Structure 1
Amino acid sequence: MALAYGFSEYGGPDTQQVFDLEVPRPGPGQLVVAVHAAGVNPADWKVRTGTRKDTVPVTLPAVLGREVSGVVTAVGENGRDFSVGDAVFGSTARGFGGYAEYTVLNADSAAHKPEVLGFAAAATVPVALGTALDIVEQLEIVDADTVLVLGAGGGVGSAVTQLAHARGAAVLGVASAGKSDLVEANSGIWIESGSGSEERIVAAGERVGKVTVIVDLVGGDVLAHAAAACGPAVRLVSVADPGLGSELGGSGVDRRRTTEVFTRVATLVETGILDPRIERTFPLREAGHALALVEEGHARGKVVVTVR
């Protein structure tokens, strides 16, 4: 049996618990991985509430988490170039979670972990850092752009800020006062969130250049008001509210959960272009505390659950 952390029914944090599961077996094109670390993301608690039922079906009790790093313990037929004992990272296969001692990855959504990259850092690549690269490339951000990041203090926001800056763009990062130093450490220009943020966005744009790109990680009124302040000419991607993003002339993000993309992101971390900004780590039995930090919006950068 293997230890896991998940939820017994859709709902709030009170549905979360530690439980035992059978060690999984790999199907064709799959890998079983002894998990060393799992990234924690807002999508995890959204799956638990049931708001992602249509896109992320689960069998209850369900294990939380969608990105892991670890060591391969079994390889299914057509497991590509992976072998038992390989250190890897990737997105969990459908029906499997990351907050667990063992999980399953599809080989085409897994990559070899570079030796110099720690397991905790590697566990942040598939969701947070991978999403950031997808956003920056989808929007074709260049040095002439001024990029507005709504929710710049979280894992994806931190990574987008760094990647956009690396491309030469000016980056305005909207976040709470408690995350101002993080935005600035990522080479962004901090703008305080909350009442009056639209005026602060416009004023900052007058100094460094009118906003040409909006990356939204908050959604709702925050996105609507920011878009209205910036005008209709901006290129826009919303992770938090893709429906509203489309109404505003933008779109959601097209995720590429592939070996090739994950390997590229790992190289960006290796070379120092991208820092995962891991704020805290929690052991598996305390995964509930890790998720609460993210769900309550208090996390700065990335939160990781460590298993081994």
Structure 2
Amino acid sequence: IYNYSQKDYVCFDFVPRHQNIIRYRKGIPVIIDDFSTVCSWVQFKNRIKWNYNLFLAKHPVAVRCPVAGKFNFTQRGEVPFETRILGGVTLSPRPNIYCKQNISDFSVCGEQKEVAIDENYCLSVDYLGRPVDIYSDPDYRMKCIGFWRENLKSYLVTYDELDPFSKYRCWVYQRADLNRIFMSQAIGPFCDLNQDVFSWNHTEGAAVALDLIEYERERDQCPMYFDDGTNPWRYSGDSINVIVFDFFSSNSASSFLMAFSMKILVSVTVSVVTFFKFA
């Protein structure tokens, strides 16, 4: 028996990083030390259906979510969202509030970087249109850390520090109408190749499927936003568009008044000439 060792070379194909995600695929090991041979396209498994693997940041930074607004949702799945209290105990007793209508709420408001889900949300308002229940907290808070589009599907990855199973969760989402969105949450941080927006059980790697319908009220101040992830490298953070109105500056105002006066003078002159001509 002779001691024998062999060196294998493997090629990794990386997609440029976007947000907190690096996508890659790995080739098969070969014994030839030649880049053109090791990284040839034939060294990658020739499957009819395939997708990239994921590297996720250990300490992710929240980015703007591709889906934003206030939505009323219905759910179906083996691991549905449930009513709970974050932290286990409230800081103070909550008053008993009468609600005429309770819904399941999916909200992405403010900076639109965090998903808040409340399975039993009070929809009632007072006579001024303000929400009656101002004491309740959402049941789930998840940060959006990356999204992209692949295989004609839009993917989203969220981060929840309090998730006991997996802090990272993958979603498949799709806009169905002007104010309707379908979403499916995976069991873990990676979406199965067969998972789509209607997947709801473990056979397709999903935990729950959501049907969201937008319902923003007057005082919610939660505008709707959607990005299908076609270009995840595009900056989608907060931006302020400044419009400069030079129309009211001194020079512009004087020029405008001069032009307006000349227009009136010309109109009056034409009218007078016309009057004398036909008189």
**TM-score category, normalised to shorter length:** under 0.3
TM-score (norm 2): 0.23
Greater relative contact order: 1 or 2 (C-alpha under 8 angstroms, separation 6 or more)? 1
TM-score, normalised on structure 1? 0.21
Higher helix share: 1
Larger radius of gyration: 2
